[in-house]
Amino acid sequence: MHPLAITDQEFILFQRLIYKIAGIDLADSKKVLLVGRLQRRLREHQFTSFSQYYRLVSSGQNQQELQTMVDLLTTNETYFFREPRHFDYLRQEILARRPRNDRFRVWSAASSTGEEAYTLAMILAEALPAAPWEVFGSDISTQVLAKARAGLYSLERTQGIPPELMRKYCLKGVRSNEGTFLVSPELRERVTFDQINLTQPIPRHIGPFDVIFLRNVMIYFDAETKRKVVAHLLPHLASGGHFIVGHSESLNTITDQLVAVQPTIYRKP
């Protein structure tokens, strides 16, 4: 079946729409990706043009389809123990210096399918066996949040998980679940997920957090959106708390409310 074609004018409409909703600056080079991810939805609705689909999702009459479009265009690659230097810093510097019995909270603010949140949970379970802790994960996509809550992954996704943590916190599937693993219930019950659009004001009850991870998502934002997102997150970071971004990202010129501890790792005074 031949892919449906999109005109430059139609692509611009979708660029503006996804920017308005999610703050994502969809590059011109992503046109093929957009067509590949949305053409099944056009066929589902028996549309013959992207203009028809645009009218449906932009009309405000079908929020479910709009959310489906957002899910399809915002799903990003993630994996366990990605960029491990940050987890080393969390373990060796932040957790090692915290008051022993204080509650410790971490926010995975662009959690996608949950690998980062469960990585954090494994680290906290090991470092704080007797202290109260929790991990909160959020994403704009309901589709990836459903996968995150399930905590069920292909065994191919285990790369990066240390073998001792794999044995301790991951249950290998058998019979119909062969080829998968399930994050253990003891970890899943300490990790919660919710849908949050970081470009919109965030409910006050979410915080405060000792550490906020916002990694590998700002690369999709322009400077104005980056400033807006960080401004929405900072009120939820406790004084003395850490804010961590991806290795290809920086908060230089984005905010003056944080102090750089080392590249990609910042602290709130």
Q: What is the DSSP string of 37-75?
A: HHHHHHHHTT-SSHHHHHHHHHSSS-HHHHHHHHHHHH-
With the C-alpha atoms ordered 128, 230, 80, 196, is the resulting torsion angle positive or negative? positive
Just list the catalytic residues.
37, 139
Q: Long-range CB contacts (< 8 A, 24+ apart) of 264-267?
A: 264/86, 265/86, 265/89, 266/242, 267/240, 267/241, 267/242, 267/243
CA distances for 204 relative to 6, 92, 174, angstroms: 41, 30, 42
SS3 at position 213: strand
Q: Could you tell me which residues are beta bridge partners of residue 266?
A: 243, 260
